[in-house]
Structure formats: structure tokens, C-alpha cells
């Protein structure tokens, strides 16, 4: 018996989301469409220049855990916050989503991580992240029983930036596999792939990771090629399952020689792409842990991603379970 469907492990970040014009990015030297790591001083400066903002528990894996819970799945989360105001906001918010979160908070410096997310009129989001307490996540924060009782343990590639987190991830993978569970990861960002290409490939080739999530740009960056089909063939040979999203063209799910093409849902207007990949993973993993077909898993991922980009922020306004039922997917 398992207690959880999906355990996610990631950088526990409070997302602070605000709209801005294109010239704001230029004036503040913000790299559009990427996750930019910033220090405490720049974080304070950017925060002071933001307009009205929405604050919520975030971070890539946190978004995925909340999405799994919204589908009705049993989700858990490991991530490090500090014992401060933003840490309290994060803990309350993610627990309110129905996610198990008991990682012990850090006492003292550094403070809880925050990501200033600027959304331009085209819906593209540019993230400026101060990792803060995230860098203190380590093996001592691994709850062995939670890992052992989770069908899939999923972690974000962003987590490869803080060094001690790597040890925590490898410990999670060891426990998961010893208990017959599976491990999944998302490549997170093409810039992240560029930093850790060799290590990510080693995780796949060694069998540490069973399931890989990526978007088109991340996949091409992983193999340093321009041929999407060739890259798909490459990743198919290096992990058990690969789910690769391709914006309005939907996604491709590959398991060995099996390949399933998933359509994107109709989108009336792209408002904010924050969390699109995270929510795709939540739908896919929810379906996967319920024993659904790869087609059904991909369709649930497509539903979640397509829904979330039509609103501000990565928390669906209507439960994903209700939306899935209305769409006849569950």
C-alpha cells in the first residue's frame, strides 16, 4: 500500500507575480522568458520596483504537488523555508492545497526564497529568483517513510543549483527504488540544462531517473542539436518514459518504441505561462499513478497546462478534478 501518489522535491519559493510592459524588462536588465538567479540585493531592488502583485507558495515542484492535489491525488512535498513571514506564507498556502508538507524550517539566515515573476502582455514570464533558504535543503530533510510510500518521487532540475540538494535527491532515489517506486525529474529550463547537461544525462543513463519531463527547447539543449525528431529518438533510448511538451503543438510521450502524440487544448488567450510545464507534469503524474494509459496521462497534462496559461498564477481557479470530469478524462 502507498500513502502518496506523488512526492515532489524542489526549491520552496514564494512566487510574487506582477504584470509589466516589455520596456520594464529592458530597463532592469531582465532576461526575458528565463529563470534568472539573483542575490539578496537585486531581489530587494526588483521587489521595490514591482507593481501590484500576487503572492503564493510556488517553485516548480511545489506547483506540481498542488496540481496533483487539485486532480484529487495524494501529494507530498519536500522543500526548505526559513522560520519567517514568507516561510509561514509558503507552509500555510501549500498545506491549504491539500499537500503534505512537514520539512523543518530553517532558524535564522538566509530568509525564505522568493521569485519575482514579471508577466509581459504576451503572457511570457521572466523569473528572478533569490534562492535563500532553499540552498539549505539536505539529506537530513528526507522523510524516509514518505519516499517509501510514494508511487513516484519527482524533482525539479532547478534543485541541482544548491549543492546539498543533490545528496538529498540521490538519497530519495535510493529509497524509492529500494521500495519498488519510480523517480521522475523535469529539466526545468534550457539554461539549467546548459549548466548541468552531463549530470542530467548521468541521472538518466544510470537509471537514477525513470521518467523525464522537458519542453522542446530543453530537449534540444540537452543533446545540443537542432533536430527535434532526432532528439526525441535519443531521449527514448535513455529513460523509461519521456514526456516532451511543444507549446501549441501539444506534446509527445515516448516509452521505448511506443509513441503517443498529445494535442494541446484550445486556448482563447495566453495570459501567463507561469507553471505551464509544472501543471503538465501534475496531470501526467496523476494519471500515471492511477494506472491510466499514456494517452490519458498526456491528455490530463495538456488540460492542466492549457488551463493554467489562461489565468494569472499557477493555481487553477477551478479544481482540475472538476475540469477533467467535464472533459470526460476521468
Task: Tell me the pLDDT tens digit for each residue of 315-330.
Answer: 899 999 999 999 999 9
Domain-located, residue 18: no
Per-residue pLDDT, averaged over 153-166, amounts to 92
Report the pLDDT value the prediction gives residue 55, as an integer from 0 to 100: 87
Domain-located, residue 16: no
How many C-beta atoms surround the C-beta of residue 45 within 10 A?
14
Q: What is the pLDDT of residues 62-112, one digit of tens each?
A: 999 999 999 999 999 999 999 999 999 999 999 999 999 999 999 988 999
Q: What is the pLDDT of residues 15-46, one digit of tens each?
A: 899 999 999 999 999 999 988 989 989 998 99
CB of 318 closer than 8 Å to CB of 325: no
Range of the domain at 223: 4-11+59-86+97-102+135-326
Report the pLDDT value the prediction gives residue 312, as an integer from 0 to 100: 84
Report the pLDDT value the prediction gives residue 315, as an integer from 0 to 100: 87
Domain-located, residue 196: yes
Report the pLDDT value the prediction gives residue 215, as an integer from 0 to 100: 97
Burial 238-272 (b: 16+ CB within 10 A, else e): bbbbbbbbbeeebbbbbeeeeebebebbeeeebbb
Q: What is the pLDDT of residues 45-64, one digit of tens each?
A: 999 999 999 888 889 999 99
Closest of 320, 273, 328 to residue 301, by C-alpha: 320
CB of 127 closer than 8 Å to CB of 117: yes
pLDDT of 149 over the 80 cut: yes
- The separation between CA 117 and the C-alpha centre of its own chain, rounded to angstroms, equals 15
Domain-located, residue 118: no
User: What is the number of domains present in the chain?
Assistant: 1
Q: Give me the residues paired with residue 55 across strands.
A: 16
Instruction: Give the global pTM.
Output: 0.92
Domain of residue 63, CATH code: 3.40.1190.20
Per-residue pLDDT, averaged over 119-134, amounts to 93
Domain-located, residue 48: no
Closest of 39, 71, 200, 28 to residue 135, by C-alpha: 39
| CA dist., res. 46 & res. 49, Å (int) | 5
| CA dist., res. 322 & res. 330, Å (int) | 9
Per-residue pLDDT, averaged over 119-148, amounts to 95
Domain-located, residue 81: yes
Report the pLDDT value the prediction gives residue 161, as an integer from 0 to 100: 83
Q: What is the pLDDT of residues 249-300, one digit of tens each?
A: 999 999 999 999 999 999 999 998 889 999 999 999 999 999 999 999 999 9
Report the pLDDT value the prediction gives residue 272, as an integer from 0 to 100: 86
Report the pLDDT value the prediction gives residue 213, as an integer from 0 to 100: 98
Q: How confident is the model at residue 2 (pLDDT cuts 50, 70, 90)?
A: confident
Q: What is the pLDDT of residues 200-215, one digit of tens each?
A: 999 999 999 999 999 9
Domain-located, residue 39: no
Domain-located, residue 44: no
Q: Omega before 110 cis (within 30°)?
A: yes
Amino acid at each position: 500500500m502507498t500513502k502518496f501518489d506523488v512526492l515532489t522535491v524542489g526549491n520552496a519559493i514564494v512566487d510574487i507575480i506582477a504584470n509589466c510592459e516589455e520596456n520594464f524588462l529592458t530597463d532592469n536588465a531582465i532576461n526575458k522568458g528565463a529563470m534568472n538567479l539573483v542575490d539578496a540585493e537585486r531581489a530587494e531592488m526588483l521587489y521595490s520596483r514591482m507593481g501590484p502583485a500576487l503572492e503564493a507558495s510556488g517553485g516548480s515542484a511545489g506547483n506540481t504537488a498542488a496540481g496533483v492535489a487539485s486532480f484529487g491525488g495524494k501529494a507530498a512535498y519536500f522543500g526548505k523555508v526559513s522560520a519567517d513571514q514568507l516561510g509561514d506564507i509558503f507552509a500555510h498556502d501549500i498545506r491549504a492545497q491539500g499537500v503534505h508538507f512537514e520539512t523543518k524550517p530553517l532558524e535564522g539566515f538566509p530568509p525564505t526564497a522568493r521569485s519575482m515573476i514579471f508577466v509581459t502582455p504576451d503572457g511570457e514570464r521572466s523569473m528572478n529568483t533569490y534562492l535563500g533558504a532553499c540552498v539549505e535543503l539536505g539529506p537530513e530533510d528526507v522523510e524516509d517513510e514518505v519516499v517509501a510510500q510514494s508511487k513516484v518521487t519527482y524533482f525539479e532540475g532547478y534543485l541541482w543549483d544548491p549543492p546539498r540538494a543533490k545528496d538529498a535527491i540521490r538519497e530519495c532515489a535510493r529509497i524509492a527504488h529500494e521500495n519498488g517506486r519510480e523517480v521522475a525529474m523535469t529539466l526545468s529550463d534550457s539554461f539549467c540544462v546548459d549548466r548541468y547537461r552531463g549530470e542530467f544525462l548521468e541521472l538518466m543513463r544510470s537509471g537514477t531517473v525513470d521518467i523525464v519531463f522537458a519542453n522542446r527547447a530543453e530537449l534540444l539543449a540537452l543533446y545540443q542539436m537542432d533536430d527535434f525528431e532526432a532528439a526525441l529518438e535519443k531521449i527514448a533510448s535513455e529513460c523509461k518514459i519521456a514526456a516532451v511538451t511543444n507549446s501549441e503543438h501539444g506534446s509527445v510521450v515516448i516509452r521505448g518504441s511506443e509513441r503517443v502524440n498529445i494535442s494541446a487544448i484550445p486556448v482563447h488567450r495566453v495570459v501567463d505561462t507561469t507553471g505551464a510545464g509544472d501543471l503538465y507534469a501534475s496531470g501526467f503524474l496523476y494519471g500515471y499513478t492511477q494506472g491510466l494509459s499514456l494517452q490519458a496521462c498526456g491528455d490530463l497534462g495538456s488540460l492542466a497546462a492549457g488551463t493554467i496559461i489562461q489565468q494569472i498564477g499557477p493555481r487553477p481557479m477551478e479544481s482540475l478534478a472538476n475540469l477533467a470530469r467535464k472533459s470526460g478524462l476521468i
